[in-house]
Structure 1
Amino acid sequence: MTTRFFSPAPYPADEARRQHVVQMLVGQNLSTFEIQVAVDRAADIFGTRYAAMTILDHDRQWIAVSKGLKVSVMSRAAAFCGHTILSTDPLVVQDTTADERFAGNPLVLGSTNIQFYAGVPLVILGAAVGALCVLHDSAIDDVRTSQIDELKTLAGNLVHNLEAELGQSRSAGRPPSNVSQITSRLSNGNQDA
């Protein structure tokens, strides 16, 4: 029997600053309708079963809005998006079972059986706070540049809208919510398709 391992992503060098922006973001009452439209469109572009907008805090990945996923929070150690936020470039893994970073990941070996992942980091106020991503339960070998470009455009639009929401909140002097309100809002804001 072969033992499979996976590699949790290391924390980025700017983790403290990134966490500050994450806390500002999760304190917002996000417009989930616009995010859901982007998530659904991302899944349509790639023909995938799952798609999500994620936010990574210190030890968890929040799934703010999703298509097809039944969870709203998971361990950051298992999050593919933890690898995505380490670069400004999209991360595409055409076959997770053949990539040593993911082959033993519980999302690959478990009931969701994720075998394909593509994600674009959401860089808000200079910090990669999460990703817009698509996932599928079979490998996808024929990823086109046009698909990646469309995913990048969707992510860019989300970043623009989220930064605008943050700017409006900061100019209005609204304080961020406490952690229990954040958890509740994100959990309730998760919309399965």
Structure 2
Amino acid sequence: MKKTLIAIGIGFLVQGYALAAHATVLDFETLANNDDLIHDLGASYIEKGYRLENLGHFPFSTYGSQNPFFSGSTALINDNDAGITRLSLVSQGEFALRSIDMVTLYPGLTPDGADITFTALRTDHTIISRVIHIDDRLPGSGAQTFTFGSDFEHLAAVSWSNMASYHQFDNINVTAVPEPESYAMLLAGLGLLGALARRRPRAGLV
């Protein structure tokens, strides 16, 4: 019976920790293709519990690794004039945007780079925005990483749009806010194991 209770307590701890540990990187590596083509993906893409929506006319796409404009890592493309990409949790929960990798759509051919506007809707209904600039790079030389501070926490959704030229994006680092049941499972597991520890007989006592 005691072993069963210990197993249950450990199970609560494991499940609670898994639900609470929500740091995630969307890297699109499941879309990797070793060719020189452009692959259309449709207007909506889901990875690791997050949904990316393309609000433009043309769908999301990726470059195969042999394409001359491949960034060095599989990235998603919104190839629309002033195209808007929106990111949110499938569960409609709260999350934070920590960082994102970006590179121009045609590395080596866009000397002015690209300006991208990020607009975030926070759960308190306030809206914040930030403009970043992507420098042009040679094909295959990799992307630039842009980090976001505490103002991009407690988000319901975040979107970004092209102001000039187009871009590829990759390695979106996001953190979901744990739901209350995650903490409940952790506390239940700790409480059960603590109670069992207190009931353990002391050495040398009958």
**More strand as a share of residues:** 2
TM-score, with length taken from structure 1:
0.26
Normalized per residue, the structure richer in helix is 1
